[in-house]
């Protein structure tokens, strides 16, 4: 197998740039459909014996003034999720909703209620952003220590690329961005890195190998071909479990598994196109490898 | 030849066997149980109760498996739910509603396993059902109130030294104003002498004209806030214990928040009421002997059975006004309790004591402190609905002579021992919250949803695992089988570690496990891809296997260490669902390194290592 990845590099670069521009525009103008954990607010989950009649619930709740209720099915036809922002004095609570529905004789079984006050939401948003930045910084330091700074640039560029595109997809399609999606994105930071490291590792190995001759382009292309099967297989097995989560994991894990699935695909793609693009752009050469910061430990040998 | 030494194989498989043993408790069914508590006011818990409960249940022919006596509660385990509910009704009736009874389920982990420390994994609220509260301590208001009450007592202190002073408090500062510089100098001297403003102490001082501005130093502020939050934590624990919930969680989160988790509770309104209830102390003067019965009431002492005293019906102040109480020693080394009141409390105390002290009367009147405990009596009707009744119980915890006019800070002396002093201080503080709190997050999860989440989670693990299993078997044949066995060992080890270290499993946690299943395979894929490359380069099979494992090693380590770093950052910064995910992900990564490399290797060695292989395909 010999796929000329490096030759298609510019194609990949154009695709990624376009996607990132779209993502940024959407994030700037449309923003994210932030979940209740971030915005603060109240949510109730109700379960009915039969198919829930949403218009009935909406008309009942319309009697409560000053509040805009969102009423949607959740998971199945029998289940309903009601979300809303309380008024400024926070007078309208879970109980107000329960009482109103009960008065109209259409209160199902209350399976879950959640109230998040605005200040918590704000804090979570800040913390989430900080978490992603700290994660990236730690990783950069680790890679510089273990590899070489050019690989660090490559891995971080790939991370930014992946995170931006996932955020973009959530923004463009208006998918619920809740706390679990934030966790998924952080997991993707780890996963994408995994891919970038495997690729970088192999490139370094080939650059260090004195028997291997050829321009950096050729060496990098060989490396990509060597790890390609592994990249596909690993992404595939991870996708297998994510599909199982997506299908049977239920509504609560849907956006989480979706974000991860998108991230796995994009992470694999970026390890091939973005990392390589950066390595080529920074003119990675055999010279860069002359003083490797740290030889891989070959001490592992149990036989 | 690719062979492990005997001790290496022994080590790998003993780890797995230990893993299996500690994962086992999760596979035993749970049994219905009752947890019976006896409330704060009762200290009658002893073997007598053990026996009377036993005979009560036997008398009503309610079958039970066994009764255990723990620190301050009884645990009764039943064979079925009917007996459990009948037992609950019977014991509520027997105790006239005094017992705090919680329905519980007890793992039927066999004795030998339990003695090894084996226990099933803790389930988070999203899996077990229950109520979650997040409370925020209003530290700003707390420090303001404290500052202004200290301003008041400083001014009192100055006036008693003939220093003319007044104060005002603005947010984070007290402003002491003096009529002239002479008074100001005297005040400074006093502050100096009492170590208020030496370096490293509580105030940062600044001066402008005839004013002294005092501000808490950052260290001192952090210290008192820390103290207040801890104090609230204690008070909340006491209150939550009244709810009769089995295994509640009351935990500090960050600098000024407290998480309360009540598994199995559904009625958030009444839970909120108990958690948010206000102070329960009353200060009243002891009645004069000739006071009419219309003006006085008789109360028992808490720690001296039989002794009673008449107190006036007029309440001087309540526990709301108490800002702090601490035991210490006086100049002569005798135990005492120092009490601090807020400004209103100080004023009320001053009014009540100025004409009744020993200084005025020669022999001062006594000031009694009443502790009011709201006892909840719980009964159950035929349909096992809960019926609760609240009965306040008032008992005297202190009745001491008033020596002098009292203000915002005073002390109770004449206590028998330092232990008595610290108990009294605890009681004075216990009811009240040290700092005001507000609810910032509230969540109830119905038991059916929890059960559903467990099923969904387990199903997705199983289905994801089967899909990967089939794929690996088809793609890598015998190598794939080794990887699959390693994967299974990984699941077992994750379960075992989660159970043993007492980590809490949540729905996102299950997602973390599912994800490690996907990623653990990666290590094996890397190894197998290397072996196949070696074979293509015409290396002989045994060496190809050896090289495959050793060349993939550093890649696997780098990839896993970075992911582990991310998981640890998630754990450190994240809350709630993110933390649950980070826990299983970190554990999963660590165990997967062990299983994917060592367990797989040992299996591959077992299959190929002991013979000549002419041809190897992968």
Nearest one of B367, B346, B369 to B358, comparing CA atoms: B367
Mean predicted confidence (pLDDT) in B317-325: 79
Nearest beta carbon to residue B448 from set A111, A193, A297: A111
- Whether the pLDDT of residue B42 is over 60: the answer is no
| Least trusted range by pLDDT, from A36-50, B21-35, B146-160, B535-549 | B146-160
Q: Do B104 and B33 form a contact (C-beta atoms < 8 A)? A: yes
- Whether the pLDDT of residue B45 is over 70: the answer is no
- Whether the pLDDT of residue B218 is over 50: the answer is yes
pLDDT band at B432 (very low <50, low <70, confident <90, very high): low
Nearest beta carbon to residue A241 from set B464, B560, B582: B464
B575 touches chain A (CB under 8 A): yes
Residues of chain A with CATH 1.20.1640.10: 9-34+120-289
Nearest beta carbon to residue A302 from set B4, B460, B518: B4
Contacts with B, A 201-230, CB within 8 Å: 201-202, 226-227, 229-230
Are A113 and B439 in contact (CB < 8 Å)? no
* Helices B139-160 and B218-242, packing angle to 10 deg: 110
For residue A238, the chain B residues in CB contact (below 8 A) are 515, 518-519, 521-522
Q: Report how far apart, in Å, the C-alpha atoms of B573 and of each of A128, B503, B566 are.
A: 8, 17, 11
Are A191 and B562 in contact (CB < 8 Å)? no
Mean predicted confidence (pLDDT) in A196-220: 89
Contacts with B, A 30-89, CB within 8 Å: 45, 47
Are B444 and A112 in contact (CB < 8 Å)? yes
Q: Please work out, in degrees rounded to the nearest 5, the angle formed at the alpha carbon of residue B338 by the alpha carbons of B333 and B340.
A: 160
Neighbours of A21 (CB within 10 A): 12
Which of the listed ranges B26-30, B171-175, B255-259, B603-607 does the model predict with the highest average pLDDT?
B603-607
B159 touches chain A (CB under 8 A): no
Nearest one of B475, B573, B584 to B519, comparing CA atoms: B584
Q: What is the pLDDT of residues B155-196, one digit of tens each?
A: 877 887 888 888 887 767 888 888 888 888 888 888 888 777
Q: Do B240 and B248 form a contact (C-beta atoms < 8 A)? A: yes
pLDDT band at B376 (very low <50, low <70, confident <90, very high): low
Mean predicted confidence (pLDDT) in B4-9: 91
pLDDT reported for residue B487: 94
- Whether the pLDDT of residue A40 is over 50: the answer is yes
- Whether the pLDDT of residue A25 is over 80: the answer is yes
For residue A198, the chain B residues in CB contact (below 8 A) are 526, 555, 559
CA atoms within 13 A on the CB side of B145: 24
pLDDT reported for residue B41: 43
pLDDT reported for residue B479: 94
Are A186 and B558 in contact (CB < 8 Å)? no
Chain Cα centroid distance, residue A147: 26
| Least trusted range by pLDDT, from B293-297, B323-327, B537-541, B552-556 | B323-327
CA atoms within 13 A on the CB side of B195: 2
Buried residues in B384-393 as b, exposed as e (16+ CB within 10 A):
eeeeeeeeee
Q: How far apart are CA B318 and CA B320, in angstroms?
A: 5
pLDDT reported for residue A298: 47
Q: Tell me the two tokens of residue B533.
A: 């490359």
For residue A111, the chain B residues in CB contact (below 8 A) are 445-446, 448-449
Query: Most distant CA pair in chain A: distance in Å?
Result: 82
Question: How close does chain B come to A25, measured CA to CA in Å?
Answer: 28
Tell me B26's DSSP state: G
- Whether the pLDDT of residue B446 is over 70: the answer is yes
For residue B4, the chain A residues in CB contact (below 8 A) are 302-303
The helix (H) or strand (E) run that includes residue B489 is helix B447-500
B554 touches chain A (CB under 8 A): yes
Phi, psi of B604, rounded to the nearest 5 degrees: -60, -40
Nearest one of B54, B90, B96 to B74, comparing CA atoms: B54
Nearest one of B314, B455, B511, B272 to A179, comparing CA atoms: B511
The residue behind tokens 């509603």 is B97
pLDDT reported for residue B101: 80
Q: How far apart are CA B132 and CA B473, in angstroms?
A: 44
Phi, psi of B308, rounded to the nearest 5 degrees: -130, 165
CA atoms within 13 A on the CB side of A125: 15
pLDDT reported for residue A299: 46
Tell me B550's DSSP state: H
Q: Do A116 and A40 form a contact (C-beta atoms < 8 A)? A: yes
pLDDT reported for residue B374: 64
pLDDT reported for residue B491: 93
Q: Do A4 and A46 form a contact (C-beta atoms < 8 A)? A: no
Fold of A9-34+120-289: Multidrug efflux transporter AcrB transmembrane fold (1.20.1640)
Bridge partners of B386?
B380
Q: What is the pLDDT of residues B309-320, one digit of tens each?
A: 999 888 888 777
- Whether the pLDDT of residue B347 is over 80: the answer is yes
Give me the count of residues in chain B: 618
pLDDT over 90 percentage in chain A = 31
For residue B550, the chain A residues in CB contact (below 8 A) are 298, 300-301
CA atoms within 13 A on the CB side of B491: 20
CA atoms within 13 A on the CB side of A257: 29
| Least trusted range by pLDDT, from B25-34, B480-489, B539-548 | B25-34
For an interface test with B, give the residue of A45, A133, A190, A228 to mutate (most B CBs within 10 A): A190
For residue A94, the chain B residues in CB contact (below 8 A) are 268, 442
A110 touches chain B (CB under 8 A): yes
* Helices A216-248 and B507-536, packing angle to 10 deg: 140
**HEC string for B275-344:** HCCCCCEEEEEECCCCCCCCCEEEEEECCCCCCEEEEECCCCEEHHHEEEEEEEECCCCCEEEEEEECHH
Higher pLDDT, B205 or B535: B535
Q: Tell me the two tokens of residue B463.
A: 């289905």
Tell me B435's DSSP state: S
Nearest beta carbon to residue B460 from set A95, A135, A248: A248
Q: Is B207 helix (H, G, I), strand (E, B) or coil?
A: strand
Question: How close does chain A come to B124, measured CA to CA in Å?
Answer: 14
Pairing outcome for strands A70-74 and B322-329: unpaired
Nearest one of A235, A205, A223 to A1, comparing CA atoms: A223
Pairing outcome for strands B504-505 and B122-123: parallel
A119 touches chain B (CB under 8 A): yes
pLDDT reported for residue A197: 87
pLDDT reported for residue B1: 65
Query: What chain B residue is nearest to A145 in terms of C-alpha separation?
Result: B558
Question: How close does chain A come to B263, measured CA to CA in Å?
Answer: 14
Rg (chain A; Cα; Å): 25
Contacts with A, B 396-425, CB within 8 Å: none
> Please, what CATH class does the domain formed by A42-116 belong to?
alpha beta
Q: What is the pLDDT of residues B91-138, one digit of tens each?
A: 888 888 778 787 777 888 888 998 988 889 988 888 888 889 989 888
pLDDT over 70 percentage in chain A = 94
Mean predicted confidence (pLDDT) in A263-271: 93
Are A194 and B3 in contact (CB < 8 Å)? no
pLDDT reported for residue B606: 92
Which stretches does DSSP call E strand in B402-551? 409-412, 437-445, 504-505
Q: Do A107 and A46 form a contact (C-beta atoms < 8 A)? A: yes
Pseudo-torsion of CA B140, B145, B150, B156, nearest 10°? 160
Higher pLDDT, B289 or A299: B289
A60, burial (CB in 10 Å: exposed 0-12, middle 13-18, buried 19+): buried
B594 touches chain A (CB under 8 A): no
For an interface test with B, give the residue of A156, A183, A195, A201 to mutate (most B CBs within 10 A): A183
Higher pLDDT, B461 or A19: A19
Q: How far apart are CA B393 and CA B375, in angstroms?
A: 7
- Whether the pLDDT of residue B615 is over 50: the answer is yes
pLDDT reported for residue B523: 92
Are B570 and A131 in contact (CB < 8 Å)? yes
| Least trusted range by pLDDT, from B3-17, B39-53, B59-73 | B39-53
Are B585 and A95 in contact (CB < 8 Å)? no
Mean predicted confidence (pLDDT) in B442-456: 85
Q: How far apart are CA B40 and CA B302, in angstroms?
A: 12
Q: Which structural domains are found in chain B, ordered by start?
A: 6-25+447-608 (1.20.1640.10), 32-108 (3.30.70.260), 139-221 (3.90.1070), 281-372+391-418 (3.30.1360.200)
Mean predicted confidence (pLDDT) in B276-304: 81
Q: What is the DSSP string of chain A?
A: ----TTTTHHHHHHHHHHHHHHHHHHHHHT--EE-HHHH-EEEEEEE-SS---HHHHHHHHTTSTT---EEEEESEEEEEEEEE---TT----HHHHHHHHHHTT---EEEEEEEE-HHHHHHHHHHHHHHHHHHHHHHHHHHHHHS-HHHHHHHHHHHHHHHHHHHHHHHHTT-EE-HHHHHHHHHHHHHHHHHHHHHHHHHHHHHH-TT--S-HHHHHHHHHHHHHHHHHHHHHHHHHHHHHHHHHS-GGGHHHHHHHHHHHHHHHHHHHHHHHHHHHHTT--GGGGSS-SSPPP------
| Least trusted range by pLDDT, from A89-93, B394-398, B469-473 | A89-93
Mean predicted confidence (pLDDT) in B151-155: 77
Nearest beta carbon to residue A194 from set B268, B517, B562: B562
For an interface test with A, give the residue of B265, B464, B585 to mutate (most A CBs within 10 A): B464
Question: How close does chain A come to B600, measured CA to CA in Å?
Answer: 13
B506 touches chain A (CB under 8 A): no
For residue B582, the chain A residues in CB contact (below 8 A) are 183
- A–B: how many Cβ contacts below 8 A? 226
| Least trusted range by pLDDT, from A134-138, A229-233, A279-283, B364-368 | A134-138
Residues of chain A with CATH 3.30.70.100: 42-116
Q: Tell me the two tokens of residue B346.
A: 């100080």
Q: How far apart are CA B527 and CA B551, in angstroms?
A: 8
pLDDT reported for residue A145: 85
pLDDT reported for residue B531: 94
Q: Do B503 and B473 form a contact (C-beta atoms < 8 A)? A: no
Mean predicted confidence (pLDDT) in B458-476: 92
Its pTM surpasses 0.90: no
pLDDT reported for residue A290: 66
The residue behind tokens 């229950």 is B130
Mean predicted confidence (pLDDT) in A211-230: 90
The residue behind tokens 């723990």 is B70
pLDDT reported for residue A302: 46
Are B562 and A134 in contact (CB < 8 Å)? no
For an interface test with A, give the residue of B565, B580, B588, B589 to mutate (most A CBs within 10 A): B565
pLDDT reported for residue B137: 87
Nearest beta carbon to residue A186 from set B526, B561, B566: B566
- Whether the pLDDT of residue B302 is over 50: the answer is yes
Bridge partners of A41?
A116
């Amino acid at each position: 197998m010999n796929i000329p990845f490096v030759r298609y590099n510019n194609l990949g670069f154009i695709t990624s740039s376009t996607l990132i521009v779209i993502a940024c525009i959407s994030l700037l103008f449309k923003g994210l459909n932030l979940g209740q954990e971030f915005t603060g607010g109240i949510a109730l989950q109700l379960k009915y014996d039969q198919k829930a009649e949403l218009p009935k619930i909406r008309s009942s709740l319309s009697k409560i003034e000053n509040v805009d209720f969102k009423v949607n099915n959740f998971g199945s036809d029998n289940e309903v999720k009601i979300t809303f922002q309380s008024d400024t004095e926070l007078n309208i609570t879970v109980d107000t909703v329960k009482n109103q529905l009960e008065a109209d004789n259409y209160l199902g079984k209350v399976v879950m209620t959640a109230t998040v006050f605005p200040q918590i939401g704000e804090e979570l948003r800040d913390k989430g952003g900080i978490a992603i930045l700290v994660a990236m910084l730690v990783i950069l330091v680790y890679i510089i220590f273990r590899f070489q700074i050019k690989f660090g640039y490559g891995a971080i560029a790939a991370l930014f690329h992946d995170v931006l595109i996932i955020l973009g997809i959530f923004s463009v399609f208006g998918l619920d961005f809740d706390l679990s999606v934030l966790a998924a994105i952080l997991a993707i930071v780890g996963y994408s890195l995994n891919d970038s490291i495997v690729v970088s590792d192999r490139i370094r190995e080939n650059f260090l190998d004195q028997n291997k001759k050829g321009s950096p382009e050729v060496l990098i292309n060989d490396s990509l071909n060597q790890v390609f099967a592994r990249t596909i297989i690993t992404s595939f097995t991870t996708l297998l479990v994510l599909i199982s989560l997506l299908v049977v994991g239920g509504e609560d894990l849907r956006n989480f598994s979706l974000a991860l699935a998108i991230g796995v695909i994009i992470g694999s793609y970026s390890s091939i196109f973005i990392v390589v693009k950066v390595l080529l752009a920074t003119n990675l050469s055999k010279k860069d490898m002359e003083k490797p910061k740290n030889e891989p430990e070959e001490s592992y040998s149990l036989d | 030849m690719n062979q492990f030494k005997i001790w290496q194989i022994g080590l790998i498989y003993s780890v797995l066997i230990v893993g299996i043993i500690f994962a086992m408790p999760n596979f035993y069914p749970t049994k219905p149980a009752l947890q019976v508590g006896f409330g704060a006011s009762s200290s009658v818990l002893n073997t007598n109760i053990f026996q009377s409960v036993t005979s009560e249940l036997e008398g009503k022919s309610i079958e039970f498996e066994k009764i255990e006596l723990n620190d301050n509660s009884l645990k009764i385990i039943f064979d079925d739910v009917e007996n459990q509910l009948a037992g609950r009704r019977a014991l509520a009736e027997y105790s006239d509603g005094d017992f705090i009874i919680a329905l519980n389920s007890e793992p039927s982990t066999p004795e030998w396993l339990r003695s090894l420390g084996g226990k099933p994994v803790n389930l988070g609220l999203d899996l077990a059902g229950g109520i979650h509260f997040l409370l925020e301590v209003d530290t700003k208001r707390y420090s303001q109130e404290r500052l202004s009450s200290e301003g008041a007592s400083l001014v009192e202190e100055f006036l008693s030294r003939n220093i003319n002073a007044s104060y005002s408090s603005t947010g984070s500062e007290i402003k002491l104003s003096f009529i002239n510089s002479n008074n100001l100098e005297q005040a400074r001297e006093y502050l100096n002498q009492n170590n208020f403003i030496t370096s490293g102490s509580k105030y940062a001082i600044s001066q402008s004209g005839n004013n002294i501005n005092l501000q808490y130093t950052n260290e001192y502020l952090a210290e008192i806030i820390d103290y207040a939050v801890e104090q609230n934590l204690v008070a909340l624990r006491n209150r939550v214990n009244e709810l009769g919930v089995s295994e509640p969680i009351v935990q500090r989160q960050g600098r000024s928040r407290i998480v309360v988790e009540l598994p199995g509770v559904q009625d958030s309104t009444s839970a909120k009421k108990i958690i948010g209830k206000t102070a329960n102390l009353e200060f009243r003067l002891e009645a004069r002997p000739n006071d009419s019965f219309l003006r006085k009431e008789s109360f028992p002492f808490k720690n001296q059975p039989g002794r009673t005293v008449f107190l006036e019906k007029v309440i001087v102040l309540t526990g709301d006004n108490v800002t702090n109480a601490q035991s210490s020693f006086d100049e002569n080394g005798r135990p005492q309790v120092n009490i601090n009141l807020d400004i209103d409390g100080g004023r009320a105390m001053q009014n009540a004591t100025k004409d009744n002290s020993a200084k005025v009367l020669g022999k001062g009147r006594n000031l009694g402190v009443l502790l009011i405990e709201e006892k909840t009596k719980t009964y159950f009707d035929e349909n096992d609905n809960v019926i609760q009744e609240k009965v306040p119980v008032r008992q005297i915890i202190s009745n001491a002579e008033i020596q002098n006019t009292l203000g915002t800070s005073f002390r109770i002396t004449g206590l028998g021992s330092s232990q008595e002093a610290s108990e009294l201080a605890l009681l004075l503080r216990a009811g009240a919250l040290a700092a005001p709190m507000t609810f910032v997050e509230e969540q109830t999860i119905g038991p059916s949803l929890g059960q559903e989440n467990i099923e969904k989670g387990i199903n997705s693990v199983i289905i994801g695992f089967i899909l990967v299993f089939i794929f690996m078997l088809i793609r890598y044949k015998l190598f794939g089988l080794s990887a699959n066995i390693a994967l299974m060992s990984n699941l077992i080890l994750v379960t075992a570690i989660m159970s043993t270290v007492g980590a809490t499993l949540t729905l996102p946690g299950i997602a973390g496990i599912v994800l490690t299943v996907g990623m653990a395979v990666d290590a094996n894929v890397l190894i197998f891809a290397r072996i196949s490359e070696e074979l293509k380069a015409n290396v002989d099979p045994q060496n190809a296997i050896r090289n495959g494992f050793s060349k993939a090693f550093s890649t696997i380590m780098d990839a896993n260490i970075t992911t582990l770093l991310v998981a640890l950052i998630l754990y450190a910064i994240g809350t709630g669902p993110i933390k649950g995910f980070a826990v299983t992900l970190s554990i999963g990564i660590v165990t997967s390194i062990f299983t994917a490399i060592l367990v797989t290797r040992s299996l591959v060695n077992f299959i190929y290592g002991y013979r000549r292989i002419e041809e190897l395909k992968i």
